[in-house]
Structure 1
Amino acid sequence: MTKGYIHIYTGDGKGKTTAAIGLAIRAVGAGKKVCILQFMKSLAYSEQKILQSIPGITLITLGKPYFIAKEGMLTDEQRKTWGNHIRIYPAGHPPKDYREMTLKGIEQAIDAVSKNYDMVILDEYNMARWYDLATEEETEKILKARRPEVELIFTGRNAPKEILDAADLITEMKKIRHYYDKGVPVRTGIEN
């Protein structure tokens, strides 16, 4: 039995999900079974099309067709930009349907880390914690359920303390320059 490690890809720079998917591809190429749970993402991302077709990868998406934000997080201009595609909520009280979906994902994550996967990727889980969709206690349950040989990867900005403390590898993606800041919109196949 080979020991598995806990990885974190966090920070304000681009490439967290991309790095995790690259790791998944490498693992499947070595004959390993991978489960990817994408928190806060609906089936709207380009990588999902190919991931669903790769034997050895199980992809589970846990997102709604709208974005969420805590009260006071966005400017009026940002709120206008999002229009009907955003739900604003008071801190600590996320939309009930989103919270319920996340709870199902946490149950699936516990199942995945405790059963027959070699690698489990919890994509954007850090952000699910930051947006109050998951709790510290629920995160601890995932960590405790993990079989020692399972490679567990967390992605997303704002990695919480309990995950940072448990991690064996932490990579912080740091934005130095990004074309978003010049108004370049999301491009299919690159950012989405």
Structure 2
Amino acid sequence: MTDTPEPDPESVRKNTPGRGIRPEATAIDPAAPDEFGLVQVWWGDGKGKTTAALGMGFRAAGHGYRVHMLQFMKGGADSVEAVRGEYNAIAAMPGFSYENLGHYGWAGLADGSNDADHAEKAAAGFERAKELIDAAANADLTSPLDLDGRPDEGVHLLIFDEILYAVAMGLLDESAVLELVERKPEHLELVLTGSHDDPTYLHDVADLVTNVRKVKHPLESGQRARKGTEY
């Protein structure tokens, strides 16, 4: 039996992610991504779609890339407070910004909110989404962007949170969202979240489609949304 030679330490180091160097936090300076430009879709009946998008947003901002999140369908409910943890964290993070165009309550539920108001807010959100896409198209996304700049001046990573729920609830048309995605400039990374229904209309244009599947959820046993985990 032939003895297996010991691997060369230098070869192992070079083939290890990060080349075996323990990462340390560094100052955040404006930078531009080398390989952005994909379309990501996160859907499913499980918890974690927005959380995943936020995680990517913070990771990108940590590299000095400009990030913006536009939220649909999240105008508030009596189970959450007016100020959410992610908003405070985004406000403290260089290069990350957000805006919320959701309406109080939830469309289609007898929660005191008006469905016509939900439709109006969703339509306004969609118009804003087009403005942000066009702004990115007019910016040089291969170059660093001002971390304190307005999202209307362009961003490297754009998150449309819960836009897929707006489609599933009939507040936005599938074809309109598909056209929005196809309108995306080459170097813009675009993330869309929401919906328990598979957005098959996006499969051909998306580079990543993730189904966040529920196995068990505390809401089923009566647990309300908790501060620090759900908001």
Tell me the TM-score normalised to structure 2 length. 0.69
Aligned to 1:175, the other structure's residue is in SS state coil
Matched, 1:180 2:219: yes
Q: How large is the Cα RMSD of the aligned pairs?
A: 1.9
Aligned to 2:55, the other structure's residue is in SS state helix
- Give the C-alpha shift of residue 105 in structure 1: 1.4
Of residues 132, 151, 161 in structure 2, which corresponds to 1:123?
Answer: 161
Distance in 2 separating the partners of 1:159 and 1:174? 11
Of residues 28, 38, 47 in structure 2, which corresponds to 1:5?
Answer: 38
Matched, 1:134 2:134: no
Aligned to 2:129, the other structure's residue is in SS state helix
Query: Is 1:8–1:154's contact at 8 Å kept on the other side of the alignment?
Result: yes
1:103 alignment partner in structure 2: 123
Matched, 1:166 2:208: no
Pairs within 5 Å for 1:57-136:
57-69=96-108, 79=110, 82=111, 84=112, 86-87=113-114, 95-114=115-134, 115=136, 116-136=154-174
Matched, 1:150 2:188: yes
Q: Which has the larger radius of gyration?
A: 2
Unaligned runs of 5+ in 1: 71-78, 88-94
Aligned to 1:23, the other structure's residue is in SS state helix
Percent sequence identity is 32
* Aligned pairs, number: 173
Larger proportion of helix: 1
Greater relative contact order (CA < 8 Å, ≥ 6 in sequence):
1
Tell me the TM-score normalised to structure 1 length. 0.82
Q: 1:15-42 deviations in whole A, cap 9, x for unaligned?
A: 1000000000011111111110110112
Q: 1:82-125 deviations in whole A, cap 9, x for unaligned?
A: 4x3x44xxxxxxx3322222222112212222322111101111
Larger proportion of strand: 1
Of residues 64, 67, 70 in structure 2, which corresponds to 1:34?
Answer: 67
Aligned to 2:93, the other structure's residue is in SS state coil
Distance in 2 separating the partners of 1:117 and 1:145? 15
Distance in 1 separating the partners of 2:61 and 2:36? 17
What letter is aligned with 1:137? S
2:10 alignment partner in structure 1: none
- Give the C-alpha shift of residue 9 in structure 1: 1.2
- Give the C-alpha shift of residue 144 in structure 1: 2.3
Distance in 2 separating the partners of 1:97 and 1:68? 9
Query: Is 2:182–2:205's contact at 8 Å kept on the other side of the alignment?
Result: no
Query: Is 1:127–1:159's contact at 8 Å kept on the other side of the alignment?
Result: no
